Structure 1
Amino acid sequence: MSSQRPRRRAVVPFLTWRWSWTSTASGRFPGNTGTPWEQRVKIIGIAAGLHEGSFINRLLEAAGGELPEGVGFQVWPGLGEMPPYAAGPAPAPVRELLGLLAASDAVLMTAPEHSLLPAELIHTLDWMSAGDALTGKHVAVMSASARACGAMWAQAELYKRLQAGGAVVMGAELVISPACPHFDEDGHLTDPALRGQVRAVIAQLCPAKVMEPALLL
């Protein structure tokens, strides 16, 4: 029997790159064309499900493609590793998430595709709300579902939990339902109008001077 540990499955497989929030020695970060890391808006992406081909994961990938120069974006892949909340020292996956939240300026989340919050997401929200990780943190929520009203109830419940944890839930939202006609076979969001709405959601998480070039595209 092999002694190797199983590899972690990323929540969003098509965003395979990852980084730490610390800047490189040059003060610039890989994947960006020249904005000093210290001047960036740092956004954490959290998908509310583990299914690799889900519309919510595709939507988060689409958001990563709409970010302007000056914005750093990291998808957190640890949803499936989050244990139920318990008093005492936080496990390693929890410490990783809380560290990313502390270093970020904002959070971009996708709501579940179905009517209920999955257990892994509830555990995550419980850990995020236990301290002050969410207090004053700007959070925007998007959703995409194959059904006409698939994510509506889950999105409303997600808002309540985020606000209870002290997050500032932004007013702009995006609900793509049904989502099938708007994504191609490779999972890309193809509707220009919806891509514009994705940028509008991101705009609420970024200073106007950062988002202006992207919104004029």
Structure 2
Amino acid sequence: MKIIGIAASLHAGSFINRLLEAAGGELPEGVDFEVWQGLGEIPPYTAGPAVPASVRELSRLVASSDAVLVTAPEHSLLPAELTYALDWMAALGELSGKHVAAMSASARACGAMWAQAELYKQLQGAGAVVMGAELVISPVWPHFDEDGHLTSPDLRAQVRAVIGQLCPAQVLEPALSL
């Protein structure tokens, strides 16, 4: 199984970039995970035959994946670059039927909820099968160790629950045979 990760932030080291990387570390053995870094290169969608190289790259990655994992910041509006990428993927049909998990993190429950609602709307409009979680996270608590792994057992369990929706066969224990 292959999962493509997209963090809706252009700021290296941002919380949601770090959360995406940490989530990749929680994937079951045998699941390939690739974080796509080209969000800042995606132009606004324009109809027509010309598809920019950055969009072709994203399209190729999404088409070759089994699922997509997106992390979004706590805004009521999605970052413009993420909207551009989702508009292109919708127009090209790349997300149709694709399993996409979305996580948004906020110190306040409503911030994550608003981001999640916007992201779900865009993804569902593109035909994706959407799942995910709104993570309420204290800004004063250390969330990552020196290696970028999640330190909070509760947060780790929430992230694993989202991952379990993307790749349940790999996460769930095998059934006992009688």
How far the C-alpha of 1:148 sits from its partner, in A, is: 5.2
Q: Which residue of 2 aligns with 1:64?
A: 24
Q: Which residue of 2 aligns with 1:107?
A: 68
The 8 Å contact of residues 76 and 114 in structure 2, kept in 1 or not, is answered as: yes
The 8 Å contact of residues 56 and 145 in structure 1, kept in 2 or not, is answered as: no
Q: Which residue of 2 aligns with 1:201?
A: 162
How far the C-alpha of 1:79 sits from its partner, in A, is: 0.4
Q: Which residue of 2 aligns with 1:96?
A: 57
* Post-superposition CA distance 1:13-56 (Å, at most 9, x none): xxxxxxxxxxxxxxxxxxxxxxxxxxxx1101010111112211
Tell me the TM-score normalised to structure 1 length.
Answer: 0.73
Separation (CA, whole Å) in 1 of partners of 2:167 and 2:86: 23
Amino acid at match of 2:87: D
Higher strand share: 2
How far the C-alpha of 1:185 sits from its partner, in A, is: 6.8
The answer on 1:177 being equivalent to 2:137 is: yes
RMSD: 1.8
Separation (CA, whole Å) in 1 of partners of 2:54 and 2:152: 36
State the percentage of identical aligned residues: 70
In structure 2, the CA distance between the partners of 1:179 and 1:58, relative to structure 1 (3 Å rule), is: farther
Name which one, 1 or 2, has greater alpha-carbon Rg: 1
Q: Which residue of 2 aligns with 1:27?
A: none
Tell me the TM-score normalised to structure 2 length.
Answer: 0.88
Amino acid at match of 2:62: L
The 8 Å contact of residues 6 and 71 in structure 2, kept in 1 or not, is answered as: yes
Q: Identify which of 37, 41, 54 aligns with 2:14.
A: 54
Amino acid at match of 1:79: L
